[in-house]
Structures are given as structure tokens and as C-alpha cells.
Amino acid sequence: MSTLEKKLLKKMRNAIHDFDMIQEGETIIIGVSWWKDSMALWYLMSQILKHSKVKFKIRAVYIFKDFLIDCDINFQEKKEYFENELNIPLEKINLSLPKESKLNDGVGQSCQWCAYARRIAMFKLCEKRGATKICFGHHMDDIVVTSMMNLIEGRKLKIMPPVNKMSLWKITFIRPMAYLREKEIVNLVRQREIPFSPCNCPVWDDTMRNKIKFGLVRENEKNFPKFTENTFWALIKDFKEKYEKDGYTM
């Protein structure tokens, strides 16, 4: 195991511990997008599962989006990697939408609607499989960018939380890679030769997320190298002060 891998696993274990993300006997659903963050999450979580004193189960799910925006790539390639390399079965869900859905017209296409549809599908799978947690591959950079989007577009001070208990669905979202930087994940994927494919979503390049990521966050990092990390830890401090006493229910 490389020095980088040990470093990232330590950061993930710290995040899991700090926010009490995983309990004994739980089943956790993790989505697969085949993008670098998703694949790094799966690789690192497979290592944590292998060596953890806390016994839990993880299930991989790939959601095929059967509508206008189709980012689907070779499922069989995914399945073979998960079952042969990670020893984790991969399940596929075909996501079809009602005809009246906004995702079915050229104007209503958006990351927000796409994410919402996939999340509902994962909620239903949790009920079917008896899972209580959904694990996402968001890292520190994602959390800062999303929080900036909430500030600039939503006009509210709201973090993308490392852990979020959903009172209505009785499901908890966890983000074990919250303490990892994107550049560290890129280096791990290259070092371990973890297979991944870039998203081919037709609206990806013109999203508000990318505008804020490259136009605001990355630009500020040129003058203030600690911009992302300092912003993240300030957000985490505020998040804990507001929600820790309620068990991170938002």
C-alpha cells in the first residue's frame, strides 16, 4: 500500500469517526457513476470494509438513465471490475421517467433534476434492500463549490453536509471522502490505475457548478492557496455548531 493510499484512508477513517458515519451491521448503498470520484470512493471503501473492526455491508448500484440525457457507458465493464477486482456485486437499475417529467424535454434538462431522479431511485432501493445509508463520493472541493452555489445562487448559507439524516425517508447521506482534496483523488486513480470514464453529459461544460468551481474557487486559490481548505473547515465548524446536537438532521 502506497504512502498516498495510507494518507487518504486515514483521512476517510477520520471523517467516518468524526461524524459517526457507519455503525455495526448496517447496509450501505453506494452509487456508481464510473467517474474518477465514484471509482476512488469504491476502491477506498472496499479497503476500509476489508480492515474495519465494524462489520457492515456495501452494495453497488449503477443507475441507467433512460431519458434524453444519457451518460451511460459499458455496464459489463463496470460489473467485471467490481466483481473481479473489488469482490463486490454490482446491481443495475433502469431509470425511466413519466412522460410529463421535466427531464424529458430539451429545456428542462438540468443537473438538479437528474440528481433528484437518481436519488429517488436510490431511496426506493434502500427500502428494498433494507439499507439505512446512501454513500456519496463528494470530496472537500465538491463541498466548498456546492456551498458557494448555495450562497451565490440560493442566497443562503448552507453547506453540502458530510452527514445528513433525512427525517422523512429515515435514510442518512454520508460523504466519507469529505476530508480529501480532488487533486489527491486524481493522483490515487493514476497511481492505482483505477479504471474510470469521463461523464459525457451534454450540459456538463455549461453548468453553474463548473462556473463557480473554475471562475471563483480556482481563481481565488491562485492568490490564496488555502482558500478551499480554510473555507471548508469554517463551514464544518458552523455545521457542527448548528446540527451536531440534533444528530446532523437537516
Q: Residue 198 sits in a domain of what CATH number?
A: 3.40.50.620
Q: Please name the residues in contact with 237: beta carbons below 8 A apart, sequence gap of 6 or more.
A: none
CB atoms within 10 A of CB 97: 15
Grid cell, residue 143, equals 463541498
Domain housing 191: 3-246
Question: What does the pLDDT look like over 159-187, one tens digit per residue?
Answer: 999 999 987 778 999 999 999 999 999 99
Count of structural domains within the chain: 1
List the pLDDT tens digit at each of the 250 positions of the chain.
Answer: 899 999 999 999 999 999 999 999 999 999 887 789 989 999 999 999 999 999 999 988 887 766 545 555 667 777 888 888 888 888 887 766 666 665 555 445 556 667 777 788 888 888 888 999 999 999 999 999 999 999 998 899 899 999 999 877 789 999 999 999 999 999 999 999 988 877 666 666 667 888 999 999 999 999 999 999 999 999 999 999 999 998 898 7
Question: Which tens digit of pLDDT belongs to each residue from 198-227?
Answer: 766 666 666 788 899 999 999 999 999 999
Distance CA 61, CA 92 (A): 6
